[in-house]
C-alpha cells in the first residue's frame, strides 16, 4: 500500500456505532456511552440508575415501570409523533446530570414525559420543541422539585392543543433553583404551568416566564392552593405573557 493510500485510509473517521437501548437493568445501574436507538415500544421493568454520556434516539416511546435516576449527560430526541408521551415513568424521576428532551410530539397525554410520582432536578433538565394534541406540552408529574440553587429546569418552544402549555403538576411545586419558560402556548387555559397544589419559591429561587400565551385564562401560570415566595426569590414575566 502506498504512503498516499495510508494517509487517505487513516483520515477516514468511522461513524459511531448505534446500539439498541438496553432493555434490562438487572444490576440496577447501566453505563451508557455513545448513541442508542429505541426502534419499537420498550418497557424497562427494573428500578434503574443511568450513568454516562449518550444520545438516545426515539422511534417509539419508553415506559419505565419503577424509579429512574439520570446521573449522566443525555440528549433524548424523538424522530416521529407518538400516540403517547415519549417517556412514561410509573415511579419517580431524579435528574442529577445534564439532560435534554427534544422534539417529542404526542396525540394524547403530555407531549414529552408523564411521571406518576415526583420529578426531582438537582442539575439541568431541558424540554425543547415539544407538543401535544392533549394537555401539558412537556411534562406531567405528581410533584415537581428543583432541589439545588444551581439547578436549572428549562422549557423552550413547547405547546399544547388543549390546555396547559408546558407543565401540569398534580400536587406541589417547590424550587430552590431556576425554572425558565420561553415561547410556551396553550390553546386552552394555563399558558405555561398548572399547579393543582401549593407552589413555593425558596430563598434565591427564580421562576421566569417569557412569551407565554393561552387562549383563555392565565397566560403564564395557574396555581390553585397558594403561592409562597421567600425572601430574595423572584417570579418574573416578560415579552407578552397574556391571554389571547
Q: What is the pLDDT averaged over residues 180-185? A: 96
In a domain, 117, yes or no: yes
Grid cell, residue 140, equals: 406531567
The alpha carbons of the chain give a radius of gyration, in whole angstroms, of 20
Asked whether residue 197 is assigned to any structural domain, the reply reads yes
* Residue 6 binned pLDDT confidence (cut-offs 50, 70, 90): very low
Q: How buried is 226 (Cβ within 10 angstroms: 0-12 exposed, 13-18 middle, 19+ buried)? A: exposed
Dist CA 206 CA 232 (whole Å): 9
14 part of a folded domain: no
Domain of 163 in residue numbering reads as 33-243
pTM reported for the whole predicted model: 0.91
Check residue 27 and give its pLDDT: 87
The answer to the question of residue 27 being in a domain is no
- Pick the more confident residue, 225 or 216: 225
- pLDDT tens digits for 32-55? 999 999 999 999 999 999 999 999
pLDDT at residue 76 greater than cutoff 60: yes
For residue 242, name the pLDDT band (cuts at 50, 70, 90): low
The answer to whether residue 201 is domain-embedded is yes
Q: Strand 98-102 and strand 221-223: pairing?
A: unpaired
What DSSP string describes 129-159?
Answer: EEEESSS-SSEEEEEEEE-STT-EEEEEEEE
- Distance between CA atoms of 239 and 75, rounded to whole angstroms? 29
In a domain, 37, yes or no: yes
- Domain assignment of residue 23, yes or no: no
Residue 226 lies in a domain: yes
Mean residue pLDDT of the chain comes to 91
| Other CB atoms within 10 A of residue 216 CB | 14
For residue 231, give the DSSP letter: T
176, pLDDT greater than 60: yes
Considering only 7-11, 13-17, 63-67, 149-153, which range has the smallest mean pLDDT? Answer: 7-11
Burial (Cβ within 10 Å: 0-12, 13-18, ≥19) of residue 198: middle
Write the pLDDT tens digit of every residue in 98-123: 999 999 999 988 999 999 999 999 99
- Alpha-carbon separation of residue 202 from 148, 151, 173, 228, 233 (angstroms): 10, 13, 11, 8, 6
pLDDT at 15: 64
pLDDT greater at residue 159 or residue 5: 159
CA proximity to 159, closest of 195, 126, 183 = 183
pLDDT recorded at residue 243: 53
Q: pLDDT above 90 covers what percent of the chain?
A: 82
- pLDDT over 90 at 220, yes or no: no
Total count of domains within the chain = 1
Is the pLDDT at 217 greater than 80, yes or no? no
Amino acid at each position: 500500500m502506498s504512503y498516499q493510500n495510508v494517509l487517505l485510509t487513516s483520515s477516514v473517521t468511522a461513524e459511531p456505532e448505534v446500539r439498541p437501548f438496553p432493555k434490562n437493568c438487572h444490576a440496577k445501574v447501566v453505563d451508557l456511552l455513545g448513541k442508542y436507538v429505541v426502534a419499537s415500544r420498550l418497557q424497562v421493568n427494573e428500578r434503574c440508575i443511568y450513568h454516562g454520556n449518550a444520545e438516545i434516539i426515539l422511534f417509539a416511546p419508553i415506559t419505565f415501570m419503577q424509579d429512574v435516576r439520570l446521573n449522566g449527560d443525555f440528549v433524548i430526541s424523538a424522530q416521529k409523533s407518538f400516540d403517547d408521551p415519549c417517556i412514561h415513568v410509573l415511579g419517580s424521576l431524579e435528574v442529577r446530570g445534564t439532560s435534554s428532551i427534544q422534539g417529542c410530539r404526542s396525540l394524547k397525554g403530555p407531549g414529552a414525559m408523564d411521571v406518576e410520582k415526583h420529578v426531582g432536578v438537582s442539575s439541568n433538565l431541558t424540554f425543547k420543541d415539544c407538543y401535544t394534541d392533549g394537555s401539558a406540552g412537556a411534562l406531567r408529574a405528581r410533584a415537581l422539585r428543583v432541589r439545588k440553587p444551581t439547578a436549572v429546569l428549562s422549557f423552550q418552544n413547547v405547546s399544547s392543543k388543549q390546555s396547559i402549555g408546558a407543565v401540569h403538576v398534580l400536587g406541589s411545586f417547590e424550587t430552590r433553583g431556576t425554572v425558565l419558560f420561553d415561547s410556551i402556548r396553550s390553546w386552552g387555559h394555563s399558558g405555561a404551568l398548572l399547579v393543582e397544589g401549593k407552589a413555593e419559591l425558596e430563598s434565591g429561587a427564580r421562576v421566569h416566564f417569557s412569551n407565554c400565551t393561552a387562549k383563555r385564562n392565565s397566560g403564564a401560570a395557574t396555581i390553585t392552593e397558594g403561592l409562597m415566595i421567600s425572601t430574595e426569590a423572584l417570579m418574573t414575566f416578560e415579552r407578552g405573557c397574556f391571554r389571547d
